[in-house]
Amino acid sequence: MDFATLIGLFSGLALVVAAILMGGQINIFVDVPSMMIVLGGTFGTIFVAFPFEEVRQAFHAGFKAFSSRKVQVREVVGTMVKIAEISRREGLIALENVKTENMVLKKACQLIADNAEPGLIRTTLAIEITSMKRRHKVGEEVFKRLGSIAPSFGMIGTLIGLIQMLSNLNDPKSIGPAMAVAIITTFYGSILATVLFLPIANKLRTRTLQEELHLEVIFEGAKSILENNNPLLVSEKLSSFLAPRERK
Amino acid sequence: MDFATLIGLFSGLALVVAAILMGGQINIFVDVPSMMIVLGGTFGTIFVAFPFEEVRQAFHAGFKAFSSRKVQVREVVGTMVKIAEISRREGLIALENVKTENMVLKKACQLIADNAEPGLIRTTLAIEITSMKRRHKVGEEVFKRLGSIAPSFGMIGTLIGLIQMLSNLNDPKSIGPAMAVAIITTFYGSILATVLFLPIANKLRTRTLQEELHLEVIFEGAKSILENNNPLLVSEKLSSFLAPRERK
Amino acid sequence: MDFATLIGLFSGLALVVAAILMGGQINIFVDVPSMMIVLGGTFGTIFVAFPFEEVRQAFHAGFKAFSSRKVQVREVVGTMVKIAEISRREGLIALENVKTENMVLKKACQLIADNAEPGLIRTTLAIEITSMKRRHKVGEEVFKRLGSIAPSFGMIGTLIGLIQMLSNLNDPKSIGPAMAVAIITTFYGSILATVLFLPIANKLRTRTLQEELHLEVIFEGAKSILENNNPLLVSEKLSSFLAPRERK
Amino acid sequence: MDFATLIGLFSGLALVVAAILMGGQINIFVDVPSMMIVLGGTFGTIFVAFPFEEVRQAFHAGFKAFSSRKVQVREVVGTMVKIAEISRREGLIALENVKTENMVLKKACQLIADNAEPGLIRTTLAIEITSMKRRHKVGEEVFKRLGSIAPSFGMIGTLIGLIQMLSNLNDPKSIGPAMAVAIITTFYGSILATVLFLPIANKLRTRTLQEELHLEVIFEGAKSILENNNPLLVSEKLSSFLAPRERK
Amino acid sequence: MDFATLIGLFSGLALVVAAILMGGQINIFVDVPSMMIVLGGTFGTIFVAFPFEEVRQAFHAGFKAFSSRKVQVREVVGTMVKIAEISRREGLIALENVKTENMVLKKACQLIADNAEPGLIRTTLAIEITSMKRRHKVGEEVFKRLGSIAPSFGMIGTLIGLIQMLSNLNDPKSIGPAMAVAIITTFYGSILATVLFLPIANKLRTRTLQEELHLEVIFEGAKSILENNNPLLVSEKLSSFLAPRERK
């Protein structure tokens, strides 16, 4: 998560908190039973909707999306062009020594170096790509679902509060505060969904789209290397993946 | 349903129940006519939307999704590699003796052992896969629909309660409790949809995606065996279906 | 509509009606102007959205979906296997005499008997299938739209009632009953959509999916017969369309 | 717009107006500032969402959808069969003289008569079809968007009215009528969307689907003519586009 | 943004403002804490959902969509026909000198002039097109998301205001104005989404669809030039991209 993002995020939320403080003390927004309903309900229900393992992975991916460095497309294009040059100069077998953190690129290099037949390489890489998409999708799905369960439990909490209040209307003075407490769960549910769950789901989708793009660059690059195109043509072709101002 | 899931689920819902008890007795949330409206309406209507047989299957699938053991992808990959080894060592005819609970894998082995032509094998397996997806989809659809009918009947129940209350406003003291009762159906409808129907629909979808993945592994494995690839290549190709940390 | 469905449907709705009667007389839910608004508005508007002919067809299909007998997939598979046996024993020309109510199967038999070239047969059957899907889709669309117009007119009716009530607040005693009447249109709109229009739309979709499945069986069967596969292989292939427990 | 449609539409809306009149004078539903907010806001905003030219086209298409005569599929099938007969009897060159209002059919005939190569004809007709779909889609999109902006401005108008009323609560007697006026914008927005914009969007979609069907008939017919099929086979093939009861 | 659009937009919004002024002074709609909540919350949250760089690009694209001149399809068709004529007269090599602002057209001309093989040209242009679509999509996504976050923060602000008001009901006279202030955030959120964010998202989509159309014209034109079609046929084929009244 780069610095500019942090500034944007915190200055935005600071405005919200400042506005709330201008209206009164913040402690009227803290209500323990309301938290128990919204958080307990939301996290309890997510385990009915998804296996434990997938929820764990989703939270792991959620954290990683903020901490890990973003690899630029132009770096991937650069790597593929360099690999094309190596394979031209030193033969396909030289790809065995390519070092990379990207699992799919590693597999592609190995298969090319092993002289596997083109059809098999294409199928294998295609499986890798679909398989990675499938795994990434899970994280997005879990957070989207959290973003839909949280407001539902917010509303359920408000219904609970209203029913309790309406069943027992003896003291007219207590109606206002009781309503306030009833509404707090809806407030919690909306905040959780709007500020946390849905944006994280979106961030994970953005990440996935980006990794898909990287894999497509690798896929197209590997095809070109197999067809023994010269590195200049590979560079020309792969630069089409970049935005105009990223091409030099 | 594994142990971790159960702990997550029950500790979550325990928080909700505890929070409700902190606000008053739980018996004000029990209202028999409200239950009759929401449950009767929801289950009556589902029979207009789906044939009886499909509703029955959906509930069967819903229960099974929680009780049955989850088969891991890596087990399926392992099985296909073992079958590839057998077919290499002992010939395709040996596949006749492969024992498996998976209907599609069984059919694949039989067809290969019968020396059917590759085109027919591919078509037949493709039909099996589409056909299984179609059957699984029904369960998800039924629960999704229940999750949309239940809140509708919750709202209809509340409208009924409001109309009855408003037509007869003689006793101002009864307004509060009457409103509370009117709101209870909305509460029931939301709880049913949020905690039960929608998460089960999601769970069934997760299951279906997983079985589809298994069938794809079987499909790709069978293709490799037919093309007489050596077991090492089959293993290399099928391992692309696994998450990086599942490959050894 | 089978017997089990009827029992489910009526026992469900009986609960709802019983619950309403427990709350007071049913005549407060009958209001003629409210009916005029919801029914008049809904059916008037549907004629702007769809041509008269398509609305007529949709209602025809809606009725038929409940009355007509459901043909099982396994019957269609059985028929195709029988036809494959006939064509094997007596030659393709014998298909001319096949008697069937299914328009597409009839056309398939004729084309095969006429010795039309395989490409033409495939194209023609594909057109038949797309064409049938398109016609069936209309019914579903009309009922879905009715299910979205009805609640809108319910809300419009309530707005009308509120505006009339609020413009004329002289008698405080009339506020309650006036509100009750205003709410009744929302009640009508929700009931129509939830119990009638949306489930029928869903039923029509289920029917369409089923007929599509039948057409796919016919399509695959006809292809096999043209390729002169032996009836056992046809049976093996088509049985993949069935659920495991339907295969004997 | 055929006669049956008009009767359906007007009798429906007559019921609504009659019901409103039974509840009081209609003039309480007329409020000029409310109209200014909903109409001004809706039509002002649509020009941010779409270029002026596309809005103009959409309204043109909206009017045409009601006035123009609907061409039946079976007429198009008939035309194509007749053209097939002409081309069989008099040669492909004779298609130059075919007279038709349908732009695509005209282009198809010209290209065939010019003896263009089949690949080019297919590509050109495919472009024509996609291109027509794209133009038609614009109208639908504009009306759908209007149908979503109008209720939003209805709600914005109500919020404006409520804020004005609540800031100035001196005279309790004015609260009722002020609320009534505030609600009127929501009423206008809902009416516009439900009765006008959304059904017109749907009508345009229906029209588009129908023209697509016509273009597919022309496309398939032209392919058959190019392959020099005999007119009977063309008729047999194209009749698959018709509903069973439209085939004679 | 052409003149007609401006007139439409401003006369529409003038009506809205006039209507508001008829109901009282406009200063009751200005509330600084409410602005802080809606604007701070919306822009803070968008940085969780998207990387800083993409938000910046989206706003850049949003401004450009209003200021930049719209290129007509018929201009692109004209350009491609002219290029076809040049390539016919002076050979493919002459395309090196074609001057154009369109990046993709430039690349197409270069590749053709370089005598690259057709397969490579097609793949490269296809990558350019997908790559441009992907970049354009980001802007639409960001504004759509803003259009969904803004009303959510509007509602959150209203909940905050209600909770603060209800917790402290001592002075009955303050209830009205406090409610008015609470509602103002919902008003801000709706206005921002309805008038600004969603229409801009739509405008960007319209732009993207249009550029896609241009790229398809270029793609089809380049294919024809490579196949050495004569300029008349190219013109005939590409004119199918135009609306009937745009063809002369």
Is the per-residue pLDDT at B80 higher than 70? yes
Query: Bigger pLDDT: A123 or E6?
Result: A123
Quote the pLDDT of residue C40. Answer: 92
E175 and A CB contact within 8 Å: no
Is the per-residue pLDDT at E11 higher than 70? yes
For chains E and D, tell me whether 3 or more CB atom pairs sit within 8 A of each other.
yes
- Residue-wise pLDDT for E191-210, tens only, equals 999 998 999 999 889 888 88
Residues of E in contact with D151 (CB under 8 A): none
Is the per-residue pLDDT at D1 higher than 70? no
- Residue-wise pLDDT for C20-57, tens only, equals 888 878 888 989 999 999 999 999 999 888 988 889 98
Quote the pLDDT of residue A87. Answer: 86
Q: Which two tokens stand for residue B186?
A: 């909305």
| Nearest beta carbon to residue C9 from set B44, B107, B123 | B44
The identity of residue C238, as a single letter, is L
Q: Is the Cβ pair A206, E54 closer than 8 Å?
A: yes
Is the per-residue pLDDT at A62 higher than 70? yes
**Maximum average pLDDT range among B110-114, C150-154, E85-89:** C150-154
Residues of A in contact with E34 (CB under 8 A): 19
Query: Bigger pLDDT: E208 or E146?
Result: E146
Nearest CA to D213 out of C127, B242, A118, B82 is that of: C127
Quote the pLDDT of residue D198. Answer: 94
Listed in order, strand segments (DSSP E) in chain A are: none
Report chain A's mean pLDDT, rounded to a whole number.
86
- Residue-wise pLDDT for A24-49, tens only, equals 788 889 899 999 999 999 999 998 88
Chains that touch B (3 or more CB pairs under 8 A): A, C
Distance CA A220, CA B243 (A): 22
Q: Is the Cβ pair A152, B203 closer than 8 Å?
A: no
| Nearest beta carbon to residue D24 from set C44, C47, C164 | C164
Is the per-residue pLDDT at C122 higher than 70? yes
D147, D198 in Cβ contact below 8 A? yes
**Maximum average pLDDT range among C126-135, D18-27, D137-146, E18-27:** D137-146
Is the per-residue pLDDT at E89 higher than 80? yes
Work out the burial of residue D150: count CB atoms within 10 Å of its CB; fewer than 13 is exposed, 13-18 middle, 19 or more buried: buried
Quote the pLDDT of residue A109. Answer: 87
**Per-residue pLDDT band at A67 (split at 50, 70, 90):** confident
- Residue-wise pLDDT for B125-166, tens only, equals 888 888 888 888 889 999 999 999 999 999 999 999 999 888
- Residue-wise pLDDT for C169-201, tens only, equals 777 777 878 888 889 999 999 999 999 899 999
Residues of E in contact with A230 (CB under 8 A): none
- Residue-wise pLDDT for D55-97, tens only, equals 998 998 888 877 766 778 888 898 889 888 888 888 888 888 8
CB atoms within 10 A of CB B8: 18
CB atoms within 10 A of CB E178: 20
Q: Is the Cβ pair E160, A29 closer than 8 Å?
A: yes
Quote the pLDDT of residue E160. Answer: 92
Q: Is the Cβ pair C2, B123 closer than 8 Å?
A: no
Is the per-residue pLDDT at C228 higher than 80? no
End-to-end CA distance of chain C: 26
Instruction: Give percent above pLDDT 70 in chain C.
Output: 97
**Per-residue pLDDT band at A8 (split at 50, 70, 90):** confident
Lowest mean pLDDT among A46-60, C199-213, E160-174: E160-174
- Give the pLDDT mean for E68-89: 85
Q: Which residue is closest to A116 within chain B, CA to CA?
A: B233
Query: Bigger pLDDT: A1 or D125?
Result: D125
Query: Bigger pLDDT: D133 or A190?
Result: A190
Tokens 């289950």 belong to residue: B43
Full DSSP string of chain D: --HHHHHHHHHHHHHHHHHHHHTS-GGGG--HHHHHHHHHHHHHHHHHHS-HHHHHHHHHHHHHHHHSPPPPHHHHHHHHHHHHHHHHHH-GGGGGG---S-HHHHHHHHHHHTT--HHHHHHHHHHHHHHHHHHHHHHHHHHHHHHHHHHHHHHHHHHHHHHHHHT--S-GGGHHHHHHHHHHHHHHHHHIIIIIIHHHHHHHHHHHHHHHHHHHHHHHHHHHHHTT--HHHHHHHHGGGS-GGG--
Distance CA C243, CA B95 (A): 23
**Per-residue pLDDT band at C168 (split at 50, 70, 90):** confident
Tokens 């294998």 belong to residue: A124
Identify the H or E element spanning B17: helix B3-22
Quote the pLDDT of residue A2. Answer: 60
**The CA-based dihedral angle spanning residues A106, A108, A112, A115, taken in that order and rounded to the nearest 10 degrees:** 100
**Cα A133 vs. chain centroid, distance in angstroms?**
12
Is the per-residue pLDDT at C231 higher than 80? yes
Q: Which two tokens stand for residue B13?
A: 């819902």
Distance CA B202, CA D10 (A): 45
Distance from CA of C3 to the nearest CA of B (A): 9
C115 and D CB contact within 8 Å: no
The angle subtended at Cα C237 by Cα C235 and Cα C240, nearest 5°, is 105
pTM for this predicted structure: 0.90
For chains A and D, tell me whether 3 or more CB atom pairs sit within 8 A of each other.
no
Secondary structure letter of residue A36 according to DSSP: I
Quote the pLDDT of residue E225. Answer: 85
- Residue-wise pLDDT for A133-190, tens only, equals 888 888 999 999 999 999 999 999 999 999 988 887 777 777 878 888 889 999 999 9
Chain B residues 12-41 with a CB less than 8 Å from chain C: 33-34, 36-37, 39-41
Chain C residues 81-110 with a CB less than 8 Å from chain D: 103, 107
Quote the pLDDT of residue A248. Answer: 62
Report chain B's mean pLDDT, rounded to a whole number.
86
Distance from CA of E228 to the nearest CA of D (A): 13
Quote the pLDDT of residue C156. Answer: 94
Residues of B in contact with A64 (CB under 8 A): none
Chain A residues 154-173 with a CB less than 8 Å from chain E: 173
Distance CA A40, CA A43 (A): 6
Report CA torsion sign: C80, C86, C88, C93.
negative
- Give the pLDDT mean for D174-198: 90
| Nearest beta carbon to residue A164 from set B10, B23, B220 | B23
Chains that touch D (3 or more CB pairs under 8 A): C, E
- Residue-wise pLDDT for B220-246, tens only, equals 888 888 887 788 888 888 888 888 777
| Nearest beta carbon to residue C8 from set B52, B103, B169 | B52
- Give the pLDDT mean for A49-76: 83
| Nearest beta carbon to residue B184 from set A47, A128, A163 | A163
| Nearest beta carbon to residue A51 from set B5, B213, B243 | B5
The identity of residue D69, as a single letter, is R
Instruction: Give percent above pLDDT 90 in chain A.
Output: 22
Q: Which two tokens stand for residue A42?
A: 């939301």
Distance CA D184, CA D35 (A): 9
Quote the pLDDT of residue B2. Answer: 61
- Give the pLDDT mean for D175-184: 85
A71 and E CB contact within 8 Å: no
What ipTM is given for this predicted complex?
Answer: 0.87
Distance CA C235, CA C248 (A): 11
